Amino acid sequence: MKRLLITGAAGNLGRLARARLGHLADVLRLSDVAEMAPAGEGEEVVPCDLGDEAAVRDLVEGCDGILHLGGVSVERPWDQIQRGNITGVYNLYEAARAHGLPRILFASSNHTIGYYQQDEVIDTTAPMKPDGLYGVSKCFGEAMASLYHSKFGQETALIRIGSCFEKPVDRRMLATWLSPDDFVRLVECVFRVPRLGCPIIWGVSDNDIGWWNTESAKLIGWRPQDNSERFRAEIEAKPMPAADAPESLYQGGKFTAEPIHRD
Ligand code: NAI
Ligand code: 15L
């Protein structure tokens, strides 16, 4: 690729992508509303609010791929979610349509299905069961990707990320952990596979325990290699949540216990 746009470049995964995925394109165009480190060699830093349609249209121009990590990433009041994740996603897809349909990786979330219980195993055809407004916004993003694929042929990888952090920090994350190395390999596969379409793929490592049928990862040639099991002893040394606590019952964990935040 000549130019890969990374939205949410100031965030956790955006900084990881910036540090480790420069080889995917001649130029990384890095964007966020929050402050970013100045551009280095082979980088462009373009501040942009995803809620600003004209700015997003300019942002996407000249890009061959988009790693869409930007937006609200936890449960928040509706106006914040609406700007970043609803209007922002509409703006992104309209900009992509205006500028030649660059391939998109959409960072979806396990919170699209957070109300499934931890004793259930589901695949990507299971009906959505979002666990909050944030989860609903990711369902919207997946629906937009599907619409633009059917109508215009826009390709998107819908990656339902579990928990992508340096290491799992609680019992639930033994099932939901996506290692940073597996994340990097996953993004490489999305942008290298000749034909993508619009698949849903669980963004989760090769953990011993899990609730998601990860077959669809094969569609892009991605084989996760890490396993949360090596952190089990460390996690089990901590106090365990009660068996009837949200983090023990639901795949979305504590998000199911969040209120609808009004301010
Ligand atoms: P993060 O919160 O660290 O980064 C998101 C970035 O988006 C922030 O830098 C923020 O300033 C930016 N942003 C928010 N509203 C914006 C707006 N209106 N315009 C432009 N930029 C805006 O989140 P993280 O952990 O890096 O996650 C990246 C993406 O992956 C998010 O979309 C998140 O929902 C998704 N995800 C992450 C998971 C994880 O375990 N880290 C799990 C599931 C999904
Ligand atoms: C997410 O969608 C969030 O963006 C991330 O911060 C974690 O909370 C993750 O899900 C999770 O479920 O662990």
Test site for ligand 1: of 69, 183, 251, most ligand atoms within 8 A of the Cβ: 69
The answer to whether residue 253 scores a pLDDT higher than 90 is: yes
Neighbours of 192 (CB within 10 A): 12
- CA–CA separation, 31 and 46 (whole Å): 5
The gap from C-alpha 198 to its chain's centroid, in whole angstroms, comes to 14
DSSP string, 219-232: GGT------GGGGH
Q: What is the pLDDT of residues 117-160, one digit of tens each?
A: 999 999 999 999 999 999 999 999 999 999 999 999 999 999 99
> 10 C-alpha vs ligand 1 centroid, how far in Å?
9
Catalytic option among 116, 134, 148, 250: 134
> 237 C-alpha vs ligand 1 centroid, how far in Å?
30
Name the residue at shortest CA distance from atom 7 of ligand 2: 163
* 16 CB within 6 A, ligand 1: no
* 31 CB within 6 A, ligand 2: no
DSSP string, 57-95: HHHHTT-SEEEE--S--S---HHHHIIIIIIHHHHHHHH
- CA–CA separation, 133 and 112 (whole Å): 10
What lies within 8 Å, CB to CB, of 129 at 6+ separation is 112, 113, 114, 115, 116
Is the pTM value of this prediction over 0.95? yes
* 108 CB within 6 A, ligand 2: no
| Local structure of 177: helix, strand or coil | strand
CA distances from 214 to 143, 151, 159, 192 (A): 20, 27, 11, 19
Q: What mean pLDDT is reported for the chain? A: 98
Query: How many Å from the N-terminal Cα to the C-terminal Cα in the chain?
Result: 42
> 239 C-alpha vs ligand 1 centroid, how far in Å?
29
Q: What is the pLDDT of residues 64-113, one digit of tens each?
A: 999 999 999 999 999 999 999 999 999 999 999 999 999 999 999 999 99
Ligand nearest the Cα atom of residue 67: 1
| Structure-token match 């449960």, residue found | 75
CA dihedral sign, ordered 191, 195, 198, 202? negative
Q: Active-site residue 134, yes or no? A: yes
> 8 C-alpha vs ligand 1 centroid, how far in Å?
6
Nearest atom (ligand 1) to Cα of 49:
19
Amino acid 192: pLDDT: 98
Name the residue at shortest CA distance from atom 3 of ligand 1: 11
% residues pLDDT > 90 (the chain): 100
| Structure-token match 């890095």, residue found | 30
Strand order across the 200-203 sheet: 43-45, 27-31, 3-7, 65-68, 103-109, 156-161, 200-203
The answer to whether residue 263 scores a pLDDT higher than 90 is: no
Q: How confident is the model at residue 16 (pLDDT cuts 50, 70, 90)?
A: very high
Ligand nearest the Cα atom of residue 108: 1
Nearest atom (ligand 2) to Cα of 163:
13
Per this entry, what is the length of the chain? Answer: 263
* 73 CB within 6 A, ligand 2: yes
- CA–CA separation, 164 and 179 (whole Å): 6
> 2 C-alpha vs ligand 2 centroid, how far in Å?
31
CA distances from 237 to 196, 233, 256 (A): 42, 6, 25
